Amino acid sequence: MSIVTHLINGEMRPANGRVADVFNPSTGKAVCQVELASQATVEEAIAAAKAALPAWRNLPPAKRAQILFRFKTLLEENEAKIVALISEEHGKTPEDAAGELRRGIENVEYATAAPELLKGEFSRNAGPDIDSWSDFHAVGVVAGITPFNFPAMVPLWMYPLAIACGNTFVLKPSERDPSSTLLIASLLLQAGLPAGVLNVVNGDKEAVDTLLASPDVKAISFVGSTPIAEYIYREGTRRGKRVQALGGAKNHAVFMPDADLDNAVSALMGAAYGSCGERCMAISVAVCVGDHIADALISKLVPRIKALKVGAGTQCGLDMGPLVTQAHLEKVTGYVNDGVAAGAELVVDGRDISIAGHEQGFFIGGCLFDRVTTEMRIYQEEIFGPVLCVVRVASLEQAIALINQHEYGNGTCIFTRDGESARLFSNEIEAGMVGINVPLPVPVAFHSFGGWKRSLFGDLHAYGPDGVRFYTRRKTITQRWPKRETHEAAQFAFPSNQ
């Protein structure tokens, strides 16, 4: 069985340590193994990034951009290989995997604008014969820790922009589906990236803690669950690092009585059940304003959920593949059991699904709960599976209050034809990303991605303009050249332009 190892200083390293199985979720069988980096291995990657930093940060941004242009072309040329690896190790459908990759490529395109993004600001005669300007410097060696659910897209949120800004990078991807991430990194080397600028170490908590402890790692980006995000933020900032840690979500969709229900249901189906619900932007709660809209929504959802095409993630033409691991399947099933025990009405039960020829796969069908209340665990906690909860309220104001009281504030949306309702909702809702008749309001690459409350730890969102700010430090220079043979008296008052 092949072993996925590490990319350090431009070389794939032979395996010589602990390993873990990587499964095909559709079959339940291991397809390869991944080496789990030791502290020494991670420190070697950090040292390689540190050694590569001086030359890379001094390379003109236009030359960095040229490498990223070639990288983008290679990503497009190798799409089929990347998609196949994602589908095999993650379980998402080829169409979904291809969409993930293309959204990642958009971030590479944004990073190719480094010469424009890194231009400084200049003020002539900011004071008497004084010029002042600011420019942007690389932070140094930075690290990224990325989740299993987007092995292509989320790393591409991070390192293309980080290296475009002159940093060097150590990536610790998920050990559950590492192959596509490593292939993509190797394409960047093929595009001409110097050795050591990007390093990939596969691993577990030992690797994460080594990155947190290293004084040479100046900043860390993270995407994953809220408990780990909080841990990384706390431990990273305690050591003086710059940290952006994106955590979990419980995304609500509000359905107003005037919603275009047929189109809204189509949108909700994709948002709730696409990628088997393993998205931090998945809609997991439908908040219906009034019983009439709730009853109508459920009557339209039930046949659509029962008709979902579920099968092996490597097949095209499906709606859902399996969940990523057996442990995660047991976790999601446990939430469904808990919802039933708590008194929610399980309208559609997907727990007993069986896929012919893939009986050992990690499959669950779409589940739908009605009459969910806020004290239930299925409402409070992130399930990360194809489970949709319907909550009934009497007014838009109650819907807004309900969402704002939740600990998460990642994304949300409203379905309505009324501009006043949409404006009130977008103004008053406490979430980082808001959709108006858009169920998955994931910002495009030239905006930034991130939530509020316990969905984000740190001050800056991911990629886009906030990404540039995160991966750079501003330096402001003020200069004055006194006229020759002019002797000026000392000034003891604070200088001003008055």
Tokens 């600011």 appear where? 134
Distance of alpha carbon 324 from alpha carbon 262, whole angstroms? 31
Q: How far is CA 383 from CA 62, 145, 207, 326, 352, in A?
A: 44, 21, 26, 15, 18
Q: Which residues contact 30 (CB under 8 A, 6 or more apart)?
A: 1, 21, 22, 23, 24
Which residue in 165, 276, 280, 389 is the catalytic one? 280
Interior angle at CA 428, CA 285 and CA 432, nearest 5: 65
- Nearest Cα to 450, choosing from 408, 405, 414? 408
Q: Return the percent helix, strand and coil in the chain, to nearest 5.
A: 40, 25, 35
The CA angle 256-250-336, to the nearest 5 degrees, is 100
Query: Residue 483 carries which DSSP code?
Result: P
Three-state DSSP class for residue 63: helix
Residue 165 known to be catalytic: no
Residue 491 DSSP class: -
The closest alpha carbon to 211, from 41, 375, 346, 329, belongs to: 41
The 10s digit of each residue's pLDDT in 92-116 is 999 999 999 999 999 999 999 999 9
- Rg of the chain over CA atoms, in angstroms? 25
CB-based contact 223:76 (threshold 8 Å): no
Q: For residue 101, give every residue at least 6 positions away whose Cβ sits within 8 Å of its Cβ, in sequence order, or none.
A: 75, 79, 82, 83, 86, 152, 153
pLDDT digits (tens, 9 = 90+) for 439-464: 999 999 999 999 999 999 999 999 99
d(CA 313, CA 31): 14
| pLDDT in the model for residue 55 | 98
Supply 183's token pair: 């292939």
Determine which helix (DSSP H) or strand (DSSP E) holds 375, and give its type and residue range: none
The rounded distance, in Å, linking the Cα atoms of 471 and 168 is 10
The sign of the dihedral angle between the CA atoms of 485, 486, 490, 496 is negative
Cβ neighbors of 348 (< 8 A, separation 6 or more) are 301, 302, 305, 306, 365, 366, 367, 368
Which parts of 224-282 are beta strand (E)? 242-246, 251-255
Nearest to 24, CA basis, from 349, 347, 288, 358: 358
Fold of 251-436: Aldehyde Dehydrogenase; Chain A, domain 2 (3.40.309)
CB 110 within 8 A of CB 445: yes
Q: What is the pLDDT of residues 355-414, one digit of tens each?
A: 999 999 999 999 999 999 999 999 999 999 999 999 999 999 999 999 999 999 999 999
* Phi/psi at 329 (5° precision): -60, -45
Token pair of 120 as six digits: 């400084």
DSSP 5: -
Boundaries of every domain in the chain: 3-247+455-477, 251-436
pLDDT value at position 109? 98
Profile the chain (498 residues) by mean pLDDT over runs of 10 residues.
Answer: 96 92 97 97 98 98 97 98 97 96 97 94 90 95 98 98 98 98 98 98 97 98 97 98 97 98 97 96 98 98 97 92 97 98 98 93 98 98 98 98 98 97 98 96 93 96 96 95 80 80
Strand ranges (DSSP E) for 5-89?
7-8, 11-12, 19-24, 29-35
319: its two tokens: 């709606």
Per-residue model confidence (pLDDT) at position 278: 97
Which CATH architecture does the domain made up of 3-247+455-477 adopt?
Answer: 3-Layer(aba) Sandwich (3.40)
Side by side, the strands of the sheet bearing 3-4 are 3-4, 29-35, 19-24
Q: At 176, which amino acid appears?
A: R
pLDDT value, residue 489: 81
